[in-house]
Homo-oligomer: A and B are copies of this chain.
């Protein structure tokens, strides 16, 4: 008989959601972690980022209202900011593990590797389970160029004792946009280098261009169409070059060119679990090629458009808890999922993109809304606020939206319900929201 009903490998939010979900249904559960209990999000991802970002938002809001009623200036005190972050993050690993221990979920510390007979080696011990869940997530990719040993990652940035006078991010995805926004607000001279001129590629490019313009106005420099080939150390600085004429001197350089799944040293080949470049292959029940091994969260090579985000991993954890305890055998069904980049301002998206909408005028109508003079944004003094909304032509329901504004996170969350519930404008107006708010604007998006 197996030691456990389920062993979960990786104690991030997804693995932990699965663990508690399984426990609640009476399963005997163990969870393995080789690094920080709690995983990426609370230790070196969304949570610390949003703690640092709180100061960015406060500064941004104060700046918008200069000459509209406010004077004075807020500044980042990096060391106090980092203290505040550490006050939160320092408690996460112990708190997470204690929570699991007290709940009677077995916590196994060490690196996990599958053996050929479906057993799992964790450090020195070998353990067995009826079913396994791989929830090992991803780690920052390091661009394989000359001098790549000088790259730091988002993990390093989020724990910098001092903010360098100049910082450079290589790869213009959401991590670069978010960390660049923080570094800029805190007073660093910031560059973002990108190999083409299509940053934040999952987002609507007309809104991304607006965002880039606003970030440039704040002093962030973008170097597009630069294929970096080398990093050289020169005293305390680094010199970044391509094989043309690009050259940039910086105090710190971060690889923000995507994230790669943690699948390489787990012995997946021993148990017949197939992988792709983007992660573990799973079917619509999150089952791998091995009938007793499942996977969830960022480590999955997703077939759909689901973004690799913490709440998606938790959603999958809850799904697997039901599936593995025979509570339900239905395939996983994802709602449409919002995605937010916490820059200044924020950009957010959900559902059908304006590009797809424009490309299919028989089915969709794309509304371009300049929100700048809408009351909600006028009162905040925002320089530019915009939205692109995609409507289904037949039903006149919203099926997608992309938003650029300091309230984009709030608006996209309201739209998440409006879109997933297929609400018409009449159904939205059947609710009465506090007025005037982001929510009370919803009818005007139709």
Contacts and interface: CB of A to CB of B under 8 A. Distances in A.
Interface of A: 41, 46-47, 50-55, 57-59, 61-62, 64-65, 67-78, 80-81, 84, 88, 309-312, 314-315, 318, 334-335, 337-340, 348, 375, 378-381, 409-410, 412-414, 416-417, 420, 429-440
A73 B70 CA distance: 10
27 contacts: A46-B435, A47-B436, A50-B379, A51-B378, A54-B68, A54-B379, A55-B65, A55-B69, A68-B80, A70-B76, A70-B80, A71-B76, A71-B80, A72-B72, A74-B74, A84-B381, A309-B435, A312-B432, A335-B430, A335-B432, A337-B432, A410-B438, A412-B434, A413-B433, A416-B432, A416-B439, A417-B417
Given A50-B375, A62-B62, A417-B417, 12 more contacts: A46-B436, A50-B379, A54-B380, A61-B61, A68-B81, A70-B81, A73-B74, A88-B375, A311-B440, A312-B432, A338-B432, A420-B431
Contacts of A59: 70
A431 B409 CA distance: 15
Contact of A84 (B54, B69, B80): B69
B72 A61 contact: no
A69 B61 CA distance: 16
B431 A335 contact: yes
A62 B62 CA distance: 8
A70 B77 contact: yes
A167 to B, nearest CB: 18
